Structure formats: structure tokens, C-alpha cells
């Protein structure tokens, strides 16, 4: 992911999220990471720090 973000930044290309925090589908929610999901009492996936989201979050904070 970091490699792709670096290329996008270098070329000045736009980055956007698809279905960020979608209610019914978690397939593209980078906050959830790549491992097995943990669920809360309400049946929603729990967001937690993970290496994939850390790369994206760092770029978002750097390029506001």
C-alpha cells in the first residue's frame, strides 16, 4: 500500500476511498485490517489499529 501511495503522491494523482465505513459491507474498510474480524455486541466489526490503516492514516495526516 505504501508503494502505491508514494506513486500517487509523486505523480499528483487523486486518492479516494470506496465505501468508507459502509454499513452493510466491510470488504473495502481499511480500518478493519486484513485479519479475522472481531465483532462488538451490536454485531458491528470493531475498528482497531493495523499496519494497512496506519500507512493510509499517516498519508492522510501528512497531506491534508
Provide the 3-class DSSP secondary structure of residue 12.
coil
Domain ranges of the chain: 28-43+50-64
pTM: 0.68
| pLDDT tens sequence across 11-59 | 999 888 666 677 777 777 788 888 888 787 777 777 778 898 899 999 9
According to the model, what pLDDT value does residue 31 have? 82
Inter-residue contact 29 to 45 (CB < 8 Å) = yes
- As a whole number of angstroms, the distance between CA 58 and CA 6 comes to 12
Amino acid at each position: 500500500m505504501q508503494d502505491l501511495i508514494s506513486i500517487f503522491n509523486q505523480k499528483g494523482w487523486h486518492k479516494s476511498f470506496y465505501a468508507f465505513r459502509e454499513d452493510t459491507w466491510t470488504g473495502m474498510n481499511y480500518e478493519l485490517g486484513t485479519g479475522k474480524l472481531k465483532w462488538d455486541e451490536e454485531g458491528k466489526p470493531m475498528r482497531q489499529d493495523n499496519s494497512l490503516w496506519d500507512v493510509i492514516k499517516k498519508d492522510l495526516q501528512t497531506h491534508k
